[in-house]
């Protein structure tokens, strides 16, 4: 059993122009999970984002979408975590992942930021602590480093977006297990999913 999750954070960029971009896969997943659990998110200035609290399988959990840009995501995460005295191991961060193909989602605990600016800022704001959990939503790699920015800030073709959203739907089904500390059970199901 892992520590129970008390905060789930979805990463993305605010604003209509970014809403449908691959970089917002973390927002897509958090929105889908909030909807499935009937948790409403509303602006919360002290947490620099949209926040909502719910009870999932008897476990209290906060959901958070930072209202800052991706590279300042840690501001919101640290504000809520510090306020409620949450440890990094009680936090799950959902983010887009270049190193996984579209349609694949994977859990991971700890590790570096892999060039993901949201993770980089969260690690920094949590005092260089990397021990939080991650839910990596695959968006595929464009094949060349010079094309990464355009890829993550671009919109996926319809079939690719459908694959990403299918992986998100499956991730939302297993998140309640993660909240209960049953990470291994959630991993087994999600990691065998083929979108």
| CA count, 13 A, side-chain hemisphere, 126 | 26
Active-site residue identified among 20, 23, 133, 191: 23
Nearest to 9, CA basis, from 100, 86, 98: 86
71 known ligand binder? yes
Answer whether 109's CB lies under 8 Å from 151's CB.
Answer: no
Nearest to 6, CA basis, from 149, 134, 179: 179
18 known ligand binder? yes
69 known ligand binder? yes
N-terminal to C-terminal alpha carbon distance within the chain:
27
Answer whether 84's CB lies under 8 Å from 75's CB.
Answer: no
Residues paired with 150 in a beta bridge: none
23 counts as catalytic: yes
Which two structure tokens, joined as six digits, stand for 3? 């520590």
- According to DSSP, the β-strands at 91-97 and 133-138 are parallel
Which parts are annotated binding residues for tRNA?
Answer: 18, 69, 71, 117
Active site residues: 23
């Amino acid at each position: 059993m892992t520590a129970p999750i008390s905060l789930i954070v979805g990463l993305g960029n605010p604003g209509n122009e970014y809403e449908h971009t691959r970089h917002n896969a973390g927002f897509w997943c958090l929105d889908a999970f909030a909807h499935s659990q009937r948790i409403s998110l509303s602006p919360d200035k002290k947490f620099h984002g949209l926040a909502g609290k719910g009870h999932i399988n008897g476990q209290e959990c906060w959901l958070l979408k930072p209202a800052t840009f991706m590279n300042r995501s840690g501001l919101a995460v640290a504000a809520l975590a510090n306020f409620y005295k949450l440890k990094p191991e009680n936090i799950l961060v959902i983010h887009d992942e270049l190193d996984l193909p579209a349609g694949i989602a994977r859990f991971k605990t700890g590790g570096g930021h892999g060039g993901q600016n949201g993770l980089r800022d969260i690690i920094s704001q949590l005092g260089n602590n990397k021990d939080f959990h991650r839910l990596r939503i695959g968006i595929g790699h464009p094949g060349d480093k010079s094309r990464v920015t355009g890829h993550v800030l671009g919109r996926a073709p319809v079939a690719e977006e459908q694959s990403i959203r299918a992986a998100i739907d499956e991730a939302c089904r297993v998140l309640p297990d993660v909240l209960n500390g049953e990470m291994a059970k959630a991993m087994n199901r999600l990691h065998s999913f083929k979108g």
